[in-house]
Amino acid sequence: MNIQGLIIPSTLYVVNDLHPKLILENDWLKSSRRVIDYRTGILSLFDELILCPLEGFNSMQNCVTLKQTVCLQPYSESILPVHVPHKYSNRSVLIEPLINQSALPVRVAETLYSTKGRGGILRVLNATAEPVTVRRFTKLGTISTLNCINTACMSKRN
């Protein structure tokens, strides 16, 4: 394994397309003297020789953002163009509302979509009596591949 240039001989199992990424407890993590600090969002290995940022569920690598500023009329539904992270280009994906959707001025619908390059679409609702402006690059939802979803469903059945 190569972490920030430090080569560590070990055998690890990798799960592709896991969203969000997950650290599983094993002997290697114990022997690496790891400390996971959720307050700072840092994983420390080998007594702080290696410091790695934790990837949050709402990190930019797992979120779609609005392509352009839009103004939504009161009590209206719209389909908006969004940017998707590079790793989701030309893939079948599920876009879901952010966990803390109350921070957004609109409500986001779950959307199944086949991205075209780094572009996608998302359905939103302005459920208020006032016009709402949503700014370009606003995080609107989380994204995952359909392969990841199918794998998770198969695991639950077994």
In a shared domain, residues 45 and 119: no
In a shared domain, residues 81 and 135: yes
In a shared domain, residues 66 and 104: yes
pLDDT tens digits along 93-148: 989 888 777 778 899 999 998 999 999 999 999 999 999 999 999 999 988 887 64
Average pLDDT along the chain: 79
| CA–CA distances in Å: residue 91 to residues 25, 84, 87, 95 | 31, 10, 9, 12
The tokens describing 152, both together, are 């998770």
Residues 138, 72 contacting (CB under 8 angstroms): no
- Give me the amino acid identity at 143: I
pLDDT mean over 13-39 = 67
pLDDT at 156: 43
State residue 48 phi and psi, 5-degree precision: 70, 15
Partners of 120 in the beta sheet?
A: 82
Residues 52, 5 contacting (CB under 8 angstroms): no
pLDDT at 121: 93
In a shared domain, residues 42 and 107: no
Q: How many CA atoms lie within 13 A of 17 on its CB side?
A: 16
**What share of the chain in percent tops pLDDT 70?**
73
In a shared domain, residues 49 and 65: no
**What share of the chain in percent tops pLDDT 90?**
36
3-state secondary structure of 5: coil
pLDDT at 30: 74
pLDDT at 77: 96
The CA distance from 151 to 158, in Å, is 11
State the residue range of the domain holding 49: 2-53
Residue 42 clears pLDDT 50, i.e. is over it: yes
